[in-house]
Structure 1
Amino acid sequence: MVRQTYSTLTIFLGLLILAAIPTFASSGDRNPTFQHCLKGCQLTYCEPHQPPIPSYLRLFGWTCKENCAYECGHTFTDNIRPGSKSHQFYGKWAFYRLGPFQEPFSILCSLGNLYVNYKGLKDLRRRVRKENGMRNWLIALGVIQINTWIWSSVFHARDTPNTERLDYFSATLTISYTLLYSIIRIFGLRTPISQSKYLIPVTALIGFIVLGHFTYLLSFPIGFFPYGYHTKFNLYLAATHNILWVLWSLSFSYKYPKIKIIGKTLEFPKPYPPHEPLGQNPKPSEYQTPAILVLLTTLAMSFELFDFSPIFRIIDAHSLWHLSTIPLTIAWWHFMITDAIELEGSLLSSNSNRQFNNGGNGTTGIDGDSKSNELDIPRTPNFTQVAAGTAGRLGRPISPGKSPKLDKPE
């Protein structure tokens, strides 16, 4: 069933890429013909004595000059000779708007992503126990994702410098948080039953890096944006996230070498401790999922690299990228929810067996320290506890109750 799902995803993405016929984009707004049309439109329709543009456009912040640019962009595109280059205007293709909304298909795809993240968040709350330590981190991921797709919808509805920044900042927040979650999950900084002392420092480090990135971007005046730097920053974060999950999946098939640094031996963490990934039989149901999804996501990102003029002036490469992330997001949520449940089961089973074998001794956390926040797992009392009368229900010590109150001597 899982293989059929990923085969369907692969075919779906492949068909989308084949449908994308790349063309060369150029600055149509610098073309003399476009500029002549723009000036004529402004002189004809944008003078104070002329009727204003429709109210539904003004309600969404459209100005007469922007409306002229929209009309002239389509007029220019209508008269392009067959086989000639397609042009962009002010960095955007000539899209047919729907009412005041600039890119209706991209809006629809963004709302589709918003819905599947909402659905994933809903499934998470239903399937993962509140006691599972990964639950709140995944809830935060869902909230961040929903916020990102809200601003993506707003940006594609009305492209302004402010909505552009909110869209880009939200996307960076999503990418950085998914990287943080992958580090937390893979290296065991937070598990369903314990927490590492490195969790807060690592979280703070990534937070400071992202905050520094945002501070740098905000140093530029409105209307100017360092697209190249911003893109590279996000690519580095996404690449690190992808590499970690591929290594995680491959650890079930390949044994990684151990590295000794300053007298300490470092090795890749076990995906489902304490089980050795190579020795697990059967293997976890979702162990291949991250690597497959990374491959499909990389394939889908080709839409961003090979831009093309909009099909029917509605569907462009960027909107197809948003469309392809809908099934990918569904698959990621399925994996993360299943993984959180299976990890909890693995750790609880291990701790229960360890406590039984140790005769009720405490458990040890990920850093070698006893963790007070681990679940109190019921255990069977040993013979000594029974004989001493200190064995309560399922091995929990019986409280001796209050000490008898002695009368004070008169």
Structure 2
Amino acid sequence: MSSSSRPRRPADPLDIVDVDSLLTDEERAVRATVRRVCDDLVEPHVAQWYEQGELPARELAAQLGRHGLLGMHLEGYGCAGMSSVDYGLACLELEASDSGIRSLVSVQGSLAMYAIHAFGSEAHKEEWLPQMAAGEAIGCFGLTEPDHGSDPASMRTRARRDGADWVLEGSKLWITNGSVADVAVVWADAGEEHGGIRGFVVPTDTPGFEAHEITHKMSLRASVTAELALSGVRLPGEAVLPGVTGMRGPLSCLTEARYGIVWGCLGAARSSLEVARRYSCERVQFGRPIGAFQLTQAKLARMSTELQLGRLLALHLGRRKDAVGLRPEQVSVGKYNNVTKALEICRTARTVLGASGISGELPVMRHANNLESVLTYEGTVEMHTLVIGQALTGEPAFR
């Protein structure tokens, strides 16, 4: 076959159906800016952070805040007020570097800041949101408990009235940013007479509040994870979030954060696919690049197709979110599909790389390990399956 008659590869082999053509120039500019930030601040260090199980969270948050990435999709109070699609593209680029970095930004902006922005008093917003947007204060979100993950309504953390004050007792587990946070949004059962589940804005220097970092993790090692212990944490009456009662509060925050995961996990998948694609073109066995063999091409084709379908789904959900908002089951479809497919892409990419795939010199095994956590947190794959099933049948299968 002559060189002129050979089929040409697309300009971007990771976007052979031209999903990028659906983005505006402004959206592509946002993506490029976040990619440069990650290249400068994260990529030179993240493999070492992961290997050592450490993250300079406070320094990194301050740098990300200076670039407007914290709470970027929120309006006012020092937040950038970007679109949902802009935020999704940012999450994708952040997670292309590491899921732990996207988790830091997601918990800060879509859980802690969103809870205060959506349900807090004006005093809460003015005190905390500008600091958090700038990265001068770090937030965490205390919902999951040692015995209550998928069933947060059964939480044991209690809030009781004592005169004009609230007193919190309980514990929370697997809390991202917990041991470096300046403020925690803690959910507790206040009893039916006070609205059931309530959220509280808790400065972490309040007596009785303790945070203990969780170590020896095999996943999300470039992320701070902690257990929170609340023992007689006394708060003024105005510490409660006035804008919501019941489980609607924490669940709406989780829906907000899950939307970022729909995009973010595709960053890990894209990074892994690109490493595998490039390696397949360079690695020679039996006298030819392994990318010339049919089985390798089948893997690459499957990975590429799933990545592009995931991007199309994420972009559709982002456009809908900006236009009319999203229903929880729509976000569940996004997280269920994109995280499972992203994890499959990372695992398959590892097989293309052979033994090199387990090396920390390449990001693929790190991405795969991280996605094992992403598959579970903010709603396990099983729970999202049941959310979708209920939407299809009208029958709840949770109990």
TM over 0.5: no
TM-score, reference length from structure 2: 0.27
Normalised TM-score (structure 1): 0.27
Q: Flag the structure with larger Rg.
A: 1
Higher strand share: 2
